[in-house]
Amino acid sequence: MVKVGLRKPNLKTSLKARTTGRAKRAVKRAIIPDYGKRGMGWIKNPKKAAYNAVYSRTTVGVGDVARAVAKSGARSSASRTSSITVSSHEVTPLAKPEQKSLTREITSVDRANKALLLCFLLGWSGAHRAYARMWGSFFLYLFTFGLFGFGWLFDIVTLLMRRSELRRLGDSDPTQQQAPCSVDSTFDRNVADSGNWEQRGDGEAAARLELQRKNRAYMEENGIDVEMFTEEKVAADALRTIESVCPCMLRFDRGMSEEEPSISFCSPTKTGKMPKNVVEARIYHQDVKLLMDSHGFELPEYGDSINVMISYLADGRINKVDIHGFHNGRSVSVSIRRRSDDLVMTSAGTIGETGAWQSLCPGADPSAGDLFRALTKEVERIY
């Protein structure tokens, strides 16, 4: 069963998504290569992706209402200026209406400064949109307290970017020179491009497969046994390395052995030589449980996760390992490097809510023993 109708704004959830949620997403994008890429939802969780695709089309939010009102105002003004010319051979169609936006209506630094002042002082009432003669959205802001405050903040950012753009272009109207690179136009382009992401994804996947085929062939020609880099080897190496170097990181594992590792053959160097690390492998697992909400829908709840990235030498030995674990909003990362014939822990740290990495041993050159003890203590603390 899918909800139909108006989506009720949730200020608490929206605020969390723009503060701590944004920081957590930035951390995951930094350490998980495929995180946040378009189309990955259909691979990781097709059921949730299908539900969201239907939900977004059967419900209407505050933002949808605002855009609809703005577009209707643009159409009505365009219809008064459009004309139809009929002859015996051709028909001139109506001119395509140009959607109004703050970036199009604010054409000088002086107007941007005035609009910003109005937005800061009376943005909740839409005074800056009235100044830009955007009457439809003005009345909407007036009766919804600036789209519950979110539209107000959005317009402040848009006007700041617009003023900066006008100053950079010497107080001239960039709409006469190029398409404005603003929050509004970027959103519109993303919406316009969302329809063909599948075609682009297929093309990118084909290009990656072709590159992997060429890299694999290059290594075979240079005497490397590419057949030894199997999924079983990657999974076994990951577990064995964690058990021998940092066993406390196994606390984050909820089924890594059941996952299928990804294996990537590295490209030659710019000079055409064999790279030091010939293979980059990754194995990732996240604990996911399906819970029933108050409306009877099954929604996923994401728990602990572990991400292991391994770089291999030409003889099949491990050169370096990076491990990242997540639990209850906290993350721990470990770096392991080859020192002669041994794999040694070289760094361990945490990533805070701001996205900044902090070492567990801030000293100049901590020993492997110091790192091991600090890591064990930190894992015990977050659990």
Question: Are residue 101 and residue 186 in the same domain, yes or no?
Answer: yes
- C-alpha to C-alpha distance for 334 and 372, rounded to whole angstroms: 10
The answer to whether position 199 is within a domain reads no
Q: Last residue of a domain, which of 171, 193, 215?
A: 193
> Is 67 within the bounds of a domain?
yes
Torsion of Cα atoms, 235 then 241 then 242 then 245, to 10°: 180
Instruction: Look at residue 325 and tell me whether its pLDDT is greater than 80.
Output: yes
pLDDT number for residue 48: 77
Q: Which of 116-120, 194-198, 378-382 has the highest mean pLDDT?
A: 378-382
Q: Which has the closest alpha carbon to 26: 378, 268, 247, 356?
A: 356
pLDDT in tens, 336-351: 999 989 999 999 999 7
Say how far apart CA 239 and CA 44 lie, in whole Å. Answer: 23
Please tell me the distance from the alpha carbon of residue 249 to that of residue 310, in angstroms, as a whole number.
15
Task: Quote the number of domains for the chain.
Answer: 2
Q: Do 177 and 276 belong to one domain? A: no
| Distance from C-alpha of 227 to C-alpha of 264, rounded to nearest angstrom | 13
| Domain housing 129 | 14-80+97-193
Does residue 140 sit in the same domain as residue 273? no
Whether 175 and 254 map to the same domain: the answer is: no
Q: Is the pLDDT of residue 26 over 80?
A: no
Regarding predicted confidence, which is higher, 66 or 190? 66
Q: Which of 22-26, 301-305, 330-334 has the lowest mean pLDDT?
A: 22-26
Q: How far is CA 253 from the centre of its chain?
A: 24
How many CA within 13 A on the CB side of residue 320? 10
Nearest-angstrom CA–CA distance, 235 and 227: 15
**Of residues 139 and 179, which shows the higher confidence score?**
139
**In sequence order, what are the beta bridge partners of 291?**
299
**Per-residue confidence (pLDDT) for residue 86, from 0 to 100:** 39
pLDDT at residue 23 above 80? no
Query: Does 303 score more than 50 pLDDT?
Result: yes
* H/E element, 86: strand 85-86
The string of pLDDT tens digits covering residues 131-152 is 887 877 888 887 787 777 778 8
| CA dihedral (364, 369, 371, 373) positive or negative | negative
* Structure tokens given for 109: 């630094």
Beta strand segments in 114-268, E: 262-265
Determine the pLDDT at residue 43. 67
Average pLDDT of the chain to the nearest whole number: 78
* Separation CA 165–CA 157 (nearest Å): 12
Of the chain, the percentage scoring pLDDT greater than 70 comes to: 73
Q: Which two tokens stand for residue 29?
A: 């994008």
> What 3-state DSSP class applies to 55?
helix
Tell me, yes or no, whether 168 and 229 share the same domain: no
**How much is the pLDDT for 95?**
40
Instruction: Look up the pTM and report it.
Output: 0.51
Q: Are 114 and 253 members of one domain?
A: no
Q: In angstroms, rounded to a whole number, what is the distance separating the alpha carbons of residues 320 and 297?
A: 43
- Given the structure tokens 């984050």, which residue do they identify? 252
Whether residue 36 is predicted with pLDDT greater than 90 in this model: the reply is no
**Residues 147 and 254 placed together within one structural domain of the fold:** no
pLDDT of residue 115: 84
Residues 370, 380: Cα–Cα separation, whole Å: 16
Pairwise pLDDT comparison (101 vs 275), residue with the higher score: 275
Binning pLDDT at 50, 70 and 90, where does residue 93 land? very low
- CA torsion angle for 247, 253, 256, 257 (degrees, to 10)? 60
Whole-number pLDDT of residue 92: 39
pLDDT value at 196 more than 60:
no
